[in-house]
Amino acid sequence: MRHIHFILAGFLLCICCTLQAKNRVIDQPPFIVRNTTSIEVSKVVLSDTATVLHIYAKYRPKYWIQIAPDSYLTDNNGETYQLRSGIGIIPGKEFWMPESGEAEFQLVFPPLSDNATSFDFTEGEKVENGFSIWGIQLKSKKLPELALPQNAVVHKADPNAELPEPAIQYGKAMLKGKLLDSRPNMAMPISIAVWENIKGDITDIPLDIQPDGSFTKEVTLPGTTPCTMYLGREHMLQFFMEPGKTTEIYVNLREASRRKSKFHSEGKPYGEMVYINGPLETVAQELNGNHPDIDMQDKLYQNIAALAGKDIDAAKAYVLQISDETQEAIDKLPYSASTRQLLTINNKLITNAMLSSVASILTSAALHANLIKREEANNYYQELSRKVPANYVSDEDMSILNVPQAVLSNQYVQMASRNVERSGELAKAWGTDKGIFFDIARNVTLYRGIKNFTPLTDEQKATVAAMPAAYREMLTAANDELLAQLEANKKKTGYTINQVDANVSNEDLFTSIISKFKGKVLLVDFWATWCGPCRMANKMMAPMKEELKDKDIVYLYITGETSPLKTWENMIPDIHGEHFRLTDAQWKYLSDAFKIEGVPTYLIVDREGNTTFRQTGFPGVEKMKEELLKVTK
């Protein structure tokens, strides 16, 4: 009998071991690339009945994420597995992040094939900005080797090379390259910020990524120009472009994903983040190294609570302390002298910018620490502004603007633009009106007029004719382009300029504006010509407006006198809808009445005149479309 019991016990043990063996667990599986930093797979549990992904989520506290119910896996053999259910999350429903900004949940799929060695997770192409993770490994802790293009090389930097002066010439520069490990329909927006310091402008250029990940872009520039490539919202890559030259970039997406990974960021790098050939290639290569301690602006904002309640003098001391600590970190970097020189310039420019914005920073700190209420912020800011002395940032510190190499910094445009009107004052302080800052100041003054849709006068043309070739050619081309645009605007339709009744009171102002459109659905956009996000949102919504053209929706745009008249008149022909430009007093009244704290601010008004939706900041095309369709049924 005892023998039989031993046999049965052994048999049951074998069954348990067999069952346990069929549950295979892969902890922190490596993956090739993802298009988000919001979710990551912390564990995969494989069994005969299901595949369970344990998801680690990190997102803004008290905001929500969502997993689409049509999410699916695709294994390396091409077989797909549809999402069955969630544990700790309901697919298709809002999942609100806790105060910590971190959470965990599980996604359940059918069992994977026995011969699957890797798989992809995606919410699908139809989901706007949907989450995707590619190449999640099942049978190896190492990723397949990345085959680098022949030109993707690491350049040996001359440790003693000095940072050269920028070329000042007008012409076309070429950008080309490839996103390594790119996938079709990655849904990762890629754009380029061109820091046109010589123009006092920043140009955002979207990149058209081909299915194989390659891209090309030609840009007309007035000289050697710092640029930033944005990979979604998480990664920024620095490089330079120069007229007459080609910049070649190979972006290592798997290394970009590893650096932001919760579980793999401390592991061995998958190569360089980016491989760059072209102008200042060794400087660009080193700028993209993994050195988180050299951005004083990030340090300041990460510790903004330390500024709460400080006075102007204490704030300056704290900013300078952070600046000194950052400079010490820069000096210790194992980089070339040229890269450390540029990083030092960056640090000086950021320090000046932070001090110039001290009242705003202290107000943000007070809000963050709940020392003041939001409705008190403006008065708090104004009171602080009055206490900032004229020499808070010394003219000597500002002299960095007249160093030619400073134009190679992506921090230059902000400080130079702020001080263009002070060029005469700075000339007296510095004892000269010669140098790159003064050339740029003269150029920016003329270019701003053109950008605000005011063609050059004959007197200004004479001034331009006497300027150095690069500035002369750039301003002439910009002016010719404006004249052509003004002529084309005369033929455009689809927009209407409306006048506000001069006799209407402020209390009846908004009612008077919308009364003309009684019985229609209104999308009201409070905006400004100088607001980049406003202009970007208008471009993004243009296809939506065409799609909903039969829904009887009126697009109503309201701006104020901060939008220069000529700029407004010549910008709105490309923004189809009904346009109003208010006086400062009218704008202030509506801003107070609707609690408009920034632009763009949107209202949706139904056919009965009820406001059904309100948001400051562009919510995205899909959200806007969803809210409009709610009231057009």
Q: Which has more confidence, 517 or 4?
A: 517
Q: How far apart are CA 562 and CA 155, in angstroms?
A: 48
Q: Is the pLDDT at 161 greater than 90, yes or no?
A: yes
Same structural domain, 463 and 541: no
Closest CA to 554 of 535, 572, 577, 575: 577
E strands present in 476-528: 495-498, 521-526
- pLDDT tens for each residue of 376-433: 998 999 999 999 999 999 999 999 999 999 999 999 999 999 999 999 999 999 999 9
Same structural domain, 110 and 218: no
Q: Is the pLDDT at 10 greater than 70, yes or no?
A: no
Same structural domain, 179 and 232: yes
Q: What's the CATH number where 118 sits?
A: 2.60.40
Q: Which among 452, 487, 522 is the end of a domain?
A: 487
Mean pLDDT of the chain: 93
Q: Is the pLDDT at 21 greater than 80, yes or no?
A: no
Per-residue pLDDT, 232 = 76
Per-residue pLDDT, 206 = 84
- Tell me what the mean pLDDT of segment 117-124 comes to: 96
Q: What is the DSSP string of 359-416?
A: HHHHHHHHHHTTSS-GGGHHHHHHHHHHHS-TTSS-HHHHGGGG-GGGGGSTTHHHHH
- pLDDT tens for each residue of 37-71: 999 999 999 999 999 999 999 999 989 999 999 99
Same structural domain, 406 and 503: no
**Structural domain of 249:** 168-288
Report whether the peptide linkage leading into residue 543 is cis, meaning its omega lies within 30 degrees of zero. Answer: no
Closest CA to 225 of 298, 288, 190, 175: 175
**Sorting pLDDT into bands at 50, 70 and 90, what band is 231?**
confident
Per-residue pLDDT, 179 = 95
Per-residue pLDDT, 2 = 41
- Tell me what the mean pLDDT of segment 191-198 comes to: 94
Closest CA to 592 of 478, 501, 502, 507: 507
Q: Is the pLDDT at 553 greater than 50, yes or no?
A: yes
**Sorting pLDDT into bands at 50, 70 and 90, what band is 5?**
very low
Q: What percent of the chain has pLDDT over 70?
A: 96
Q: Picking from 11-25, 28-42, 437-451, which range would have the lowest pLDDT averaged per residue?
A: 11-25
Q: What percent of the chain has pLDDT over 90?
A: 85
Per-residue pLDDT, 20 = 45
Per-residue pLDDT, 374 = 85
Is residue 140 a contact partner of residue 131, using CB atoms and an 8 Å limit? no
Same structural domain, 505 and 609: yes
- Tell me what the mean pLDDT of segment 167-183 comes to: 96
- Tell me what the mean pLDDT of segment 342-359 comes to: 97
Per-residue pLDDT, 595 = 87
Query: Are β-strands 85-87 and 72-75 bridged in parallel, bridged antiparallel, or unpaired?
Result: unpaired
Three-state DSSP at 266 gives: coil
Total domains present in the chain? 5
- Tell me how far the alpha carbon of residue 164 is from its chain's centroid: 29
Per-residue pLDDT, 420 = 96
- Tell me what the mean pLDDT of segment 498-512 comes to: 92
Q: Which among 137, 160, 189 is the end of a domain?
A: 137
- Tell me what the mean pLDDT of segment 299-305 comes to: 89
Same structural domain, 420 and 532: no
E strands present in 242-369: 246-252, 274-277
- Give the list of residues 6+ apart from residue 276 with CB closer than 8 angstroms, or none: 239, 247, 248, 249, 250, 284, 285, 288
**Sorting pLDDT into bands at 50, 70 and 90, what band is 186?**
confident
Closest CA to 134 of 272, 257, 265: 257
Per-residue pLDDT, 187 = 67
Same structural domain, 411 and 338: no
Q: Is the pLDDT at 544 greater than 90, yes or no?
A: yes
Q: Is the pLDDT at 532 greater than 90, yes or no?
A: no
Q: Which has more confidence, 161 or 6?
A: 161
Q: Is the pLDDT at 4 greater than 70, yes or no?
A: no
303 in a domain, yes or no? no
- Tell me what the mean pLDDT of segment 522-531 comes to: 96
Same structural domain, 505 and 620: yes
Same structural domain, 188 and 228: yes
Q: Is the pLDDT at 493 greater than 50, yes or no?
A: yes
Same structural domain, 380 and 502: no
353 in a domain, yes or no? yes
Same structural domain, 244 and 342: no
- Tell me what the mean pLDDT of segment 552-568 comes to: 95
161 in a domain, yes or no? no
- pLDDT tens for each residue of 561-595: 999 999 999 999 999 999 999 999 999 999 999 98
Between helix 412-419 and helix 436-451 the angle, nearest 10°, is 80
Same structural domain, 482 and 562: no
Q: What's the CATH number where 507 sits?
A: 3.40.30.10
- Tell me what the mean pLDDT of segment 356-376 comes to: 94
297 in a domain, yes or no? no
**Sorting pLDDT into bands at 50, 70 and 90, what band is 516?**
very high
133 in a domain, yes or no? yes
Is residue 566 a contact partner of residue 454, using CB atoms and an 8 Å limit? yes
479 in a domain, yes or no? yes
- Give the list of residues 6+ apart from residue 401 with CB closer than 8 angstroms, or none: 412, 415, 416, 419, 426, 437
373 in a domain, yes or no? yes
Per-residue pLDDT, 102 = 96
Q: What is the DSSP string of 3-20?
A: HHHHHHHHHHHHHHHHHH
**Sorting pLDDT into bands at 50, 70 and 90, what band is 7?**
very low
Q: Is the pLDDT at 129 greater than 90, yes or no?
A: no
Q: Which has more confidence, 606 or 19?
A: 606
User: pTM here?
Assistant: 0.86
- Tell me how far the alpha carbon of residue 550 is from its chain's centroid: 33
300 in a domain, yes or no? no
Q: Which among 469, 487, 505 is the end of a domain?
A: 487
Per-residue pLDDT, 17 = 44
